[in-house]
Amino acid sequence: MSMFAVLLVLLSSVGNGAGSVFLKKLSFKKTNNILSLLLNRTFILGITIYATAAVLYVIALKYGDISVLYPIAATQYIWVCIFAVRFFREKINILKWSGIIMIIAGAVFIGLGL
Partner 1 sequence: MKSKIKVYNDNHKADSTVEIHKASSADDNSMQRTTKPWAVMLVLFCTIIMSFSQILWKIGSASLGLDIFKALADLPLVFGFLLYGLCAVLLIFALRGGDLSTLYPVLALSFVLTNLLAWLILGEDINLFKWIGIFSIVAGISFIGIGSRNSHHIKNRGEAGLP
Three-class SS state of 75: coil
- The nearer residue to partner 1, 6 or 52, going by C-beta atoms, is 52
CB 6 within 8 A of CB 67: no
In sequence order, what are the residues at sequence separation of 6 or more whose Cβ sits closer than 8 angstroms to the Cβ of residue 80?
16, 17, 20, 21
Binding residues vs partner 1 (CB under 8 A)? 19-21, 23-31, 34, 37-38, 43, 46-47, 50-51, 54, 58-59, 61-62, 70, 74, 77, 80-81, 83-85, 87-103, 105-114
Q: How far is the CB of 69 from partner 1 (least distance, A)?
A: 12
CA atoms of 100 and 105, how far apart (whole Å): 9
Q: How far is the CB of 101 from partner 1 (least distance, A)?
A: 7
- Where are any strands of DSSP class E within 1-92? none
Q: How far is the CB of 14 from partner 1 (least distance, A)?
A: 14
- The nearer residue to partner 1, 10 or 20, going by C-beta atoms, is 20
